[in-house]
Amino acid sequence: MKLTLRIWRQKGRDGKGRMVTYTLDDVSPDMSFLEMLDVLNERLILSGEEPVAFDHDCREGICGMCGMVINGVAHGPERATTTCQLHMRHFSDGDTIDIEPWRSAAFPVIKDLVVDRSAFDSIIQAGGFITAPTGAAPEAHATPVPKPDADAAFEAATCIGCGACVAACPNGSGMLFTAAKITHLGLLPQGQPERYSRVVDMIDAHDEAGFGGCTNIGECTAVCPKGIPLETISHLNRDYLSATAGGKHPE
């Protein structure tokens, strides 16, 4: 099929970006979206132009490295699908497709479609872990975990840290990401000792990194490739309230 692509091109962090139009006329419906961009890049290289920079690695929807805003939607039109798992059969011959990077104050553009998401790592550094030094662990069966808790913790833990939630949020909030980790660790017995300091520290780090506040709009969960539910944010709010109002947090 034949496609018109309008792609955000930006030389570097401080460069001024703009949309550039390209056409491709040999796109197969079996291609993935990134394979379609590979084809474009091969052509650009041979014609002496700069290929489009974009992040990707696993191309299986699990590493969280890929991500673009496609026709205004983070990761494109298919629900619960990362950009790398989106296939061209969902587009039609003659379509015009707009392709832009994640846009958020906390994720500055590095080049073209590549953004800096290290702010996510800084939220995890603030408390997104269980302090469990190597070698000091008790026997795994010493603490049974009720299956419903284990399953719910797993659901929250499936977050791939791609940043689509932030890109979709009108406030540029990273609350769904933060809540997914707080819910995952907070549901497990191993996560209890640090439960309340964790939520306070992670939210502080979230705000410091330049993410906006959450006003429960729900765009985040709509684009989340792993379908992390909005309830995780309620879980976070409950823990935060207990921690701050109930004096469970030392501060």
Partner 1 sequence: MTEPYTEGVPIADTKAPEGPIEKRWETRRFTAKLVNPANKRKLTVIVVGTGLAGGSAAATLAELGYNVKSYCYQDSPRRAHSIAAQGGINAAKNYRGDGDSVHRLFYDTVKGGDFRSRESNVRRLAEISVEIIDQCVAQGVPFAREYGGLLDTRSFGGAQVSRTFYARGQTGQQLLLGAYQALERQIAAGKVEMNARHEMLDLIVVDGRARGIVVRDMVTGEISTEFADAVVLASGGYGNVFFLSTNAKGCNVTATWRAHRRGALFANPCYTQIHPTCIPVSGDHQSKLTLMSESLRNDGRVWVPVAAGDSRAPGDIPEAERDYYLERIYPAFGNLVPRDIASRAAKNVCDEGRGAGPGGLGVYLDFADAIARLGRDAVEAKYGNLFEMYERITGENPYEVPMRIYPAVHYTMGGLWVDYDLRSTIPGLFVIGEANFSDHGANRLGASALMQGLADGYFVLPATVGDYLADGPFPAVSATDPEAVEARDGVESRITRLLAVDGDRTPDSFHRELGRIMWEYCGMERTDEGLRKAIALIRDLRAEFWTRIKVPGTDEELNQQLEKAGRIADFFELAELMCVDALHRTESCGGHFRAESQTADGEALRDDEHFAYAAAWEFTGTGEPPVLHREDLTFEYVHPTQRSYK
| Residue 21 engages partner 1 in binding (rule: CB under 8 A) | no
In the list ligand FES, partner 1, none, the entry touching 212 (Cβ below 5 to 8 angstroms by class) is: none
- Contact call for residues 235 and 159 (beta carbons, < 8 A): no
- Contact call for residues 156 and 148 (beta carbons, < 8 A): no
Bridge partners, residue 24, by sequence = 3
Q: How far is the CB of 98 from partner 1 (least distance, A)?
A: 22
How many residues interact with partner 1 (rule CB under 8 A)?
Answer: 80
In the list ligand FES, partner 1, none, the entry touching 28 (Cβ below 5 to 8 angstroms by class) is: partner 1
Parallel, antiparallel, or unpaired: how do β-strands 3-9 and 18-24 relate?
antiparallel
Q: Which helix (H) or strand (E) holds 241?
A: helix 231-245
Q: Which helix (H) or strand (E) holds 22?
A: strand 18-24
Site string for partner 1, 108-127 (x = CB under 8 A): --xx--x-xxx-xx--xxx-
Please report the sign of the dihedral spanned by the C-alpha atoms of residue 62, residue 168, residue 117, residue 102.
positive
Residue with Cβ nearer ligand FES (61 or 212) = 61
- Contact call for residues 53 and 113 (beta carbons, < 8 A): yes
Q: How far is the CB of 205 from partner 1 (least distance, A)?
A: 9
Bridge partners, residue 5, by sequence = 22, 97
In the list partner 1, ligand FES, none, the entry touching 16 (Cβ below 5 to 8 angstroms by class) is: none
Distances (CA, A) of 236 to 12, 24, 38, 156, 172: 36, 46, 40, 12, 18
Residue with Cβ nearer ligand FES (83 or 104) = 83
Which residues from 62-81 bind partner 1, rule CB under 8 A?
62-65, 78, 81
Q: How far is the CB of 193 from ligand FES (least distance, A)?
A: 33
Q: How far is the CB of 241 from partner 1 (least distance, A)?
A: 23
Give the Cα separation of 161 and 164 in Å (integer).
8
Site string for partner 1, 200-229 (x = CB under 8 A): ------------------------------
In the list ligand FES, partner 1, none, the entry touching 82 (Cβ below 5 to 8 angstroms by class) is: ligand FES
Q: How far is the CB of 121 from ligand FES (least distance, A)?
A: 17
